[in-house]
Structure 1
Amino acid sequence: MSKASNDKTPNDGLANSIHTPGNSTIDQTMSAPQSPTTNHAPTSEEQAILVHLALADMNRSVLSQNGTNHSTTLLPQFTPPLNGGFPKVHMSHSTQIFDHLDNRVLLTWFQVEQPKFMDRVFDHSRRDIAERATIIVEHVHANITTIAESTHHDALPVHVFPPQPQGGKGAKNFPIGFLVHRVSNETKNLLLNQCIWSMTDLTFEALPFNCTHPPELLFGSTGFTTLDIVTILQAISETWTQDNNRYCIEEFFSKCSLPDDELIYKATQDFITSCHVKLLDFKITGGLLVPHFNILTTSPTNDAKTWTDLRSYLSTLNYPTSLDGYRTVTALFTCQICHSLTHPQGLCLFPLVPHWNGLKVGNRNNNNTPHQIGRARGSRPGQNI
């Protein structure tokens, strides 16, 4: 998709843009990616994406129960990067950016040449992205062009391609990732290094076109009567280190690429000790505090099946405490601002970022949930991570 003309008014530009579906300009035909070839042999990285996507449904089921050093201070319309980085967006699996994408489109995107990366927009639901794809593409295109021109004054026209859902207009689930390409490696690295780019008209997260490391988020828990995360972490550690459970964890790691018993033992130990707990302390209507906990850990392997099977197994275990109850299954929340699965919209940390240009809590027109209403009544934001 070619760069939209700067000589048109905003309304005319959108109406006549080559990003608009149905526009039959020559430029659009020439610049659109070629149809996928049936004999395309996926690379190892592309094959890894397909393997992870094949396990996406299981992951969703579990949860429902170095670049060039540029400074964005030269671009004041963007929220400046934070020391230590922006809050982390937690997804259900390592290829969620490709979820629900039409297979033919995914194969076409595989064959688009590098440099390329993925773009996940904030503040929009999946259906909203599908229905307003043309407008969102224009915003993504304009802002990435601004960033590209800050690194190269003679930058090539940026190309942005919207997702198409598997099943077409009648699909029940919609993808959220946009493909961006025809940028220099310098621009790509700049975008990926900062990751979060927030403007008044759009906020997006730049992600590499590959399988990221398995997400840290394992599952959510409720049912405990304490707010002490040390007590919860102790219950989890004691459960995982029980002989039968530890043996099962070692069995999962033995099925991936770890070559000997010593490395399997070390991987198991590292996995258990990396576990950490985050308190989600929102209040329901009436000001009652109902503690929820997110359980996170670091996987020692990128093997898709090992990580998925292990996560599924651990999510079914009971985690009793001596005096404070035991863990019950709880569905995770989906933030309407950043799409993270660790909190509802009212507990999102991004609006608390200094000089945040994106959506603020309370500015959205959709109805608040009791959890979001409770957050506005005085939950402690310093503990919500």
Structure 2
Amino acid sequence: MPPQHPTKEPNSNTSPGDDTPGKELPPDAPLSTLCALLTTDLNRRSLPTSARSVPHDPLDKYTKAQMPKIYDGHPTDIFSLIDPKVVDEWDSRPACKLFALPFGIEARNRSRHNSIRACIFAAVAEITQSQQMGISAPKPSKQAKRLNYTPSAFLIYNLTEAQRRTLLEKTVWSSIDISFRVALPEPNLPDFLFNIKGFTTMSMDLVRSMVVAVWQDKETQTSLQMISQAAANKEHTYSQSNIKAFTESLEVKRLDVKEKGDILAPRFNIHAESKYIKDHNLWAQIQDFLADCQYSSNMLGRGTTQIAPYECRICYSVDHPHGLCPFPSIAGWNRPS
């Protein structure tokens, strides 16, 4: 018979599965996973209902950022090629209204308008919680059909003033389902006037000085004053101070465009604050006049102006091409890109 070895008393300080005698557990050793879960659940049950979970905000899905401005080429571009009968019907709707202008190339495809309308409807319903609002899709005018052009301004109607303000808090609403710009259903006077190309300089200050010289020229100021006086009516009167404030608000922004062969060919966007010009017809006349001026200097040579030089396929702004659209680089941007 093999020798019998003395049996050791189990050491209460030995961990299960640990043959090392005398290894002590720390006094604050955690409870088992099951016990910990049960304890957490009991603690949670003792809390008031409102403290058990944080409610989900459905608006978290929309990009939270300061959105770049989007510029139309003309104050009435948004609705100029929509069927006039549709525009009249839209205009007759009571309560508050807004335009929703979707992003992306699908907006110019009329066969996609039903699905776009549904996405805008779902978004606006979620954002405003309205029980009365609706979305109407545009119909092209005869001229639009001849031009093979599809207007893309959808009407948001039956809003309350509070719901209208909520939508206008963001100029652009962007989620994974739809991105759209919100605009007032009236002529929109853009700050962007035109673009100058042909200068081989990176200096915005140099270009601005040249434009200032043209705009402050006595002949230019006289012509602008005559245009504004001719456009004056009962609703809008313009003084020399209006024109002066408008021209002094000049801002030049460089656009680093590259041409074929990856050759840098900067463009210079010319802006002025439209708030000084209330009437959209007068604004358009001033835009045409200033774009027709000659912009040249010994240092820069002669530039060429372009009104509405681009139509971005992402946001449809006329001041930049698709490749320089600022929206895709925004943190948290959803679509399109």
TM-score range (shorter-chain normalised) is 0.7 to 0.9
Equivalent in the alignment of 1:144: 124
1:338 corresponds to: 315
4+ residue stretches of structure 1 with deviation over 3 A?
168-171, 256-259
Q: How many residues align?
A: 277
Q: 1:138 to 1:125 in 2, by over 3 A?
A: closer
Q: SS where residue 268 of structure 2 aligns?
A: strand
Q: What amino acid is the match of 2:326?
A: L
User: Cα offset for 1:256?
Assistant: 3.7
The SS at the match of 2:121 is: helix
Whole-Å separation in 2 of the counterparts to 1:293 and 1:73: 42
SS at match of 1:186: helix
Contact 2:187 2:280 (C-alpha < 8 Å) held by counterparts? no
Task: Give, in whole Å, the separation in 1 of the partners of 2:206 and 2:143.
Answer: 48
| 1:255 shift after superposition | 2.6
Among residues 311, 319, 323, which one is paired with 2:295 in the alignment? 319
Note if 1:87 corresponds to 2:64.
no
Deviation string, structure 1 residues 216-244 (Cα, Å, up to 9, x no partner): 11111111111101111111111122221
CA distance in 2: counterparts of 1:102 and 1:249, whole angstroms: 34
Q: Distance in 2 between matches of 1:258 and 1:320?
A: 35
* 8 Å contact kept, 2:73–2:318: yes
Q: Residue by residue, what CA displacement relative to the aligned partner does 1:161-183 show, whole Å, maximum 9, x if unpaired?
A: 10000029944222110011233
- CA separation in 2, counterparts of 1:127 and 1:359? 14
Where in structure 2 are the equivalents of 1:132-211 lying within 5 Å?
132-149=112-129, 155-167=130-142, 170-172=145-147, 173-211=149-187
Q: 1:343 to 1:103 in 2, by over 3 A?
A: same
Residues 353 and 157 of structure 1, relative CA distance in 2, 3 Å threshold: same
Going from structure 1 to structure 2, the CA distance change for 1:90 and 1:168 (only over 3 Å counts) comes to closer
- How far apart are the structure 2 equivalents of 1:263 and 1:206? 29
In structure 2, relative to structure 1, the CA distance for the partners of 1:88 and 1:73 (3 Å cut) is farther
> Which runs of structure 2 are paired with 1:213-224 in the superposition (5 Å)?
214-224=189-199
The correspondence for 1:356, drawn from 320, 333, 336, is: 333
Seen in structure 2, the aligned counterparts of structure 1 residues 263 and 167 have a Cα distance that, compared at 3 Å, is closer
C-alpha separation in 2, matches of 1:134 and 1:298: 37
Whether 2:99 is the aligned partner of 1:118: answer yes
Query: Structure 2: how far apart are the matches of 1:246 and 1:325?
Result: 23
Matched letter for residue 147 of structure 1: I
User: Could you list the per-position Cα deviations for residues 83-140 of structure 1 after superposition, in whole angstroms to 9, with x for gaps in the alignment?
Assistant: xx31000111222221201011111111111122111000135531x22111111111
- The equivalent position to 2:206 in structure 1, one of 231, 248, 256, is 231
Secondary structure of the structure 2 residue equivalent to 1:277? strand
Give the Cα–Cα distance (whole angstroms) in 1 for the partners of residues 260 and 186 of structure 2: 42
Identify unmatched segments of 5+ residues in structure 2. 1-55
TM-score under structure 2 normalisation? Answer: 0.77
Residue 296, structure 1, aligned to residue 278, structure 2: no
Q: Tell me the SS of whatever aligns to 1:75.
A: helix
Deviation at 1:268, TM superposition (A): 2.3
Counterpart CA distance in 1 for 2:286 and 2:144 is 35
After TM superposition, the structure 1 = structure 2 runs for residues 62-77 of structure 1, keeping only pairs within 5 Å, are 75-77=59-61
For 1:277-292, what aligned pairs fall within 5 Å after superposition?
A: 277-292=252-267
Note the residue ranges of structure 1 that are not aligned, 5 or more in a row. 1-71, 150-154, 361-385
SS of equivalent residue, structure 1 residue 91: coil
- What is the TM-score of this pair, normalised by structure 1? 0.67
Determine the C-alpha separation between the residues in 1 that align with 2:286 and 2:200.
Answer: 27
Kindly, what percent of the aligned residue pairs are identical?
25
Coordinate RMSD, CA, aligned: 2.2
**CA distance, structure 2, for counterparts of residue 356 and residue 198 of structure 1:** 7
Sort the Cα spacing of 1:275 and 1:258 in 2 relative to 1 into closer, same or farther, 3 A: farther
Task: Provide the residue aligned with 2:77 in structure 1.
Answer: 96
Higher mean C-alpha displacement, 198-207 vs 323-332? 323-332
Q: Residues of 1 paired with 2:316 and 2:182: CA distance?
A: 14
Contact 1:156 1:183 (C-alpha < 8 Å) held by counterparts:
no
Letter in 2 for 1:357: N
Asked if 1:273 corresponds to 2:225, the answer is no
CA deviation after TM superposition for structure 1 residue 73, in Å:
6.1
SS at match of 1:76: helix
Equivalent-residue separation in structure 1 for 2:57 and 2:250 (angstroms): 36
CA distance in 1, matches of 2:260, 2:230: 47
Question: 1:160 & 1:171 partners in 2: Cα distance?
Answer: 26
Equivalent pair of 1:253/1:267 in contact (CA under 8 Å): no
Relative to 1, partners in 2 of residues 1:245 and 1:209: Cα closer, same or farther, differing over 3 Å? same
Q: In 1, Cα distance between the equivalents of 2:245 and 2:145?
A: 45
